[in-house]
Every structure is written in C-alpha cells, then in structure tokens.
Structure 1
Amino acid sequence: MSETAVVTLEDVSHVAELANLELTADELPHMQHNLNAILGYIAQLNELDTTGVPPMAQVGEMLGSEVHVHGETLRPDAIKPSLDRAAVMASAPETDGKFFKVPKVIER
C-alpha cells in the first residue's frame, strides 16, 4: 500500500467544526480512525492499473438499450415556463415580494 495522508485529531476537530458537528472527546479518535481507513482504501484504489479503462463521463451511456426496454429514458432538456412569481408570493406565509422569508434555523 502506498503512503497515505494521516488525519490528526486536530484535523477531525476542524472538519467537525466546519460541518457544524458536535463530536465528544470519545468520538474524535473513532472518527480519526474511520477517516484514516477511508484514505487507506482510496490509496489502494489508486494503485489499480486502469490502463484501457475509458473514463466514465455519463452514466446514461452505460445504461444502453436497457433504458428503452424499461421505459426509463431521460427527459429532454426543454425550456418550460416557470410559475408566476406574484402568484407564488401571494400564497407564501411571509415574503418581501421577491423572496420567501423563513425563520433562522442554524445558530453558531
């Protein structure tokens, strides 16, 4: 296995803060272990020889003719008229005329 980056407890704390997660002191080492294990698996995948394997840009190409057999085709990307803003805002509980007003739900 190739060398992988090691996630420190400080890294875990920083990422938890960015994600607005409250991890206990007992959870930090467990999360550190899990993140390092994930990076180890990624390092193993990076060692695979993918020569001759074409890059996959669109999953739809892989579905092939089976898509049409089951009727699961992708809809055409067509421009359609949107809802009338005034009508939508008229039915909103609170609005400034242009946007919906909602209560703040995340406090830091």
Structure 2
Amino acid sequence: MSVGSVSLEEVRRVAELANLELTPEEEPLMQRDLNAILGHVAELNQLDTTGVPAMAQVGELIQMIEDAAGATLRPDQIRPSIDRKAVMACAPESDGRFFKVPKVIER
C-alpha cells in the first residue's frame, strides 16, 4: 500500500486477510477511512521528535509506581489448577477434555 492512497483492490485484500465481509457499499467507506488513517500517520511522521525520550516500558512503569507508592506486586506462586472434571461438569457441551463450541469461521 502506498501512503495515503489505498486502492479498492487493497481494501478487498485487507478485508480478506481480516476475514471481513464488506458489501460493495462499505468498500469505498473503508477506503476513505484507511486513507484518513494513513494521512494522520503521515502527519505524525513529519513531527520532530528529537530529544523526546522513548515511551516507558511496562516494567519501568511498575517500578515507578512501586517507588512512589511503596506498593509491590505479589510474588508469583505455583498453585494447583482448577479440577478439569469439575469444570467440564459445568460445561454445556464437552467431550470430557475440551469444551465443544459451535463453528464460527466458515471458509
């Protein structure tokens, strides 16, 4: 895809990859939306980010919260899992090992 210019063929390909069924009326709307998104990204790419620090990672954020509040996360502990037989007994449909669910993707 070229920046800011998504063709209808590209919209159809993206929809196919995302397993979306777009009507012929929806395709140009999706094309407009995708082009708008790419336009916004192009604007963001023009910003000078020199001197702007990289975003904090989750681990760094947790450490900042712990330092500020004195709170800590609980340590990981190995615990037994829920009994499979008890869980499967509550399932609407089961083969004893797995839940049975209706097929939702058709190809």
Normalising to structure 1: TM-score of the pair? 0.71
Amino acid at match of 2:40: Y
| Unaligned residue ranges in structure 2 (runs of 5+) | none
- Counterpart in 2 of 1:11? 10
How far is the alpha carbon of 1:106 from its aligned partner? 2.7
- Counterpart in 1 of 2:26? 27
Amino acid at match of 1:45: L
With 17-26 and 51-60 compared, the bigger mean Cα shift is at 51-60
**Alpha-carbon separation, structure 2, partners of 1:103 and 1:74:** 42
How far is the alpha carbon of 1:83 from its aligned partner? 0.9
Structure 1 residue runs of 4 or more that deviate by more than 4 Å after TM superposition: none
Amino acid at match of 1:36: N
Q: CA RMSD in A?
A: 3.0
**Alpha-carbon separation, structure 2, partners of 1:77 and 1:22:** 46
How far is the alpha carbon of 1:32 from its aligned partner? 0.8
Residue 92 of structure 2 aligns to a residue in which SS?
A: coil
Match runs of 1:87-102 below 5 Å: 87-102=86-101
- Counterpart in 2 of 1:58? 58
Normalising to structure 2: TM-score of the pair? 0.72
Residues 26-78 of structure 1: per-residue CA shift (max 9 Å, x gap): 2212211210110111011112122222222229729x56x85xxxx785352
| Aligned length in residues | 102
**Alpha-carbon separation, structure 2, partners of 1:51 and 1:99:** 53
| Unaligned residue ranges in structure 1 (runs of 5+) | none
1:39 has 2:38 as partner: yes
